[in-house]
Amino acid sequence: MTCSSTTNATAAAARRLLSPLAADLQARGLIHAVTSPALLTPARLSTPLTLYTGIDPTAPSPHIGNLLPLTASLRFLLHGHNVLALIGGATGSIGDPSGRATERSSLSSAVLAANEAGITTQVHRFFENGVQYATRRGYTPSAHAGKVDVVNNKHWTSKLSLIDFLDQVGRHARVSAMLARDSVASRMQSDQGISFTEFTYQLVQANDFAHLHRERGCTLQIGGSDQWGNIVAGLDLIRRTCSSSGASAGTDGDDNDNDKVFGLTLPLVTTSTGEKFGKSAGNAVWLDPAMTSPYDYFQFWMRTHDADVGTYLKMYTLLPLDHIAHVMHAHAQRPEDRSAQNVLASEMTELVHAPEALSKVKKMSGMLFAKDGKGIRDVVDREGGVGEVVAAFEGDPRLIRVRWADLGDGTAPASVAEVFAKAGACRSKSEAIKLAKKGGLYLNQDRITDAQAQKLTRADLIGGQLCLLRTGKSNYWILQVVMD
């Protein structure tokens, strides 16, 4: 037996000691750390537990960086466990120092309230879509299927006076342990330091865990690896405040296996080049379709590096591991086809935005990435005509409508330069002319060499209405010309 096969056999044997859910999480690389291995056993996960994961309302929508805790929670939900999705109305007003070199800017009450409402809507939407997506992937909800509830820590934190907080929470905290947290220690060594407000963040989050443990029977918190210190603070608070009732925190070295509470952290996701996952050209990728369109969300996943796509398929989708292995084998034969990226983008778009949005995205991609005019016409015909294609683009800023009468002077066809300017694809006709001379202007994927001399004719309108405008390598517009 080779060293590799011995290692695989050992890993397989270890997984047999885990619950099916824990074995799947481990095989997908989703377990970074756990406060006690007892959490992962069949004895612990064979009966429903209640877990929570939190999102602070620093923006009106969750972003890609929030997606891993959400999908991990969905996996627990599908195995019959209950999920509390916590919106940090209180913690969001403080700002988590974890993973940050500077303090977050304070948000006004109005902005926080709007962000809380937006995130609450999107979290509900994610789990509703997620359960439906899972059902389409063969997951059969059990008779004791888990439930999702969205809670806001502002509702209980706002009821605590400063004296109450110091008495109920601060009394049980040890400053030496707080200073040792990575999020605090790294900031203490920086020029900016850390404010008292940020320093107390871990206590406010710890109180959330303790509150949900008392009131909702919550025994597990899930978060990113940067949340380890905050999670452990919660376990410590529960241990100190609930000891009289026999409850104990599940940390290594604690042999009491009754009524434990646990923490599980997920890996920090980075690209193969070491970049932080979830940024697109410096901009966050949001789950709210009004902030990042389903098309742009799909394209974000399509741009995944070959070295990362297999990892992301395991971590983010519900596809079986053997199916993912088949996808990656096929991808390795012809990586230029980006078939694995297409599977990843399709799965993630369906999960977050539902099948209808994915269908529209596929139609949009077919139009925008057709190789030539014939290819564009083929897409229009295949999708059922101009009306279907326009419906797919409806609401997307790439769809531009102009009246035929507004193009040209009424006696002669409009120049291509004027068309691009009218559509907003170029700031002016002169810019379009210059861009054409540099080889960066395309009409129906045909390069325009003289934007002033070349005219837009009815023959250029696919289905009598549409043409595809492009500047550079990746800036597209669908122009719908309305006839009078």
- pLDDT, tens only, 448-471: 999 999 999 999 999 999 999 999
Contact 467, 455 (CB under 8 A): no
Pick the CATH number of 16-243+256-266 from 3.40.50.2000, 3.40.50.970, 3.30.2290.10, 3.40.50.620: 3.40.50.620
How do residues 181-224 score in pLDDT, each as one tens digit?
Answer: 777 777 777 777 777 778 888 888 999 999 999 999 999 999 99
Tell me the angle at which helices 339-368 and 386-393 cross, rounded to the nearest 10 degrees: 110
Average pLDDT over residues 132-155: 85
Phi, psi of 223 (to 5 degrees): -160, 175
Q: Which positions ≥6 away from 320 have C-beta within 8 Å? A: none
Q: Where in the chain is the domain with CATH 1.10.240.10?
A: 294-369
Cα–Cα distance measured from residue 47 to residue 239, given in angstroms and rounded to the nearest whole number: 22
Greater confidence (253 vs 330) lies with 330
Q: Where in the chain is the domain with CATH 3.40.50.620?
A: 16-243+256-266
Phi, psi of 477 (to 5 degrees): -140, 145
Give the pLDDT of residue 258. 39
Give the pLDDT of residue 101. 61
Return mean pLDDT, the chain.
87
375-482: CATH superfamily:
RNA-binding S4 domain (3.10.290.10)
Q: How far is CA 323 from CA 25, 67, 444, in A?
A: 16, 22, 38
Predicted TM-score (pTM) of this structure: 0.84
Q: Which positions ≥6 away from 153 have C-beta within 8 Å? A: 54, 86, 87, 88, 89, 90, 91, 204, 208, 211
Q: Where in the chain is the domain with CATH 3.10.290.10?
A: 375-482
Contact 369, 378 (CB under 8 A): no
- Among 359, 378, 341, 386, which residue's Cα sits nearest to residue 295? 359
List, in sequence order, every residue forming a beta bridge with 403; answer none if it has no partner.
482
Tell me the angle at which helices 339-368 and 321-333 cross, rounded to the nearest 10 degrees: 70
Give, in words, the CATH class of 294-369.
Answer: mainly alpha
Q: Does the structure show a pLDDT above 70 at 4?
A: no
Cα–Cα distance measured from residue 123 to residue 480, given in angstroms and rounded to the nearest whole number: 35
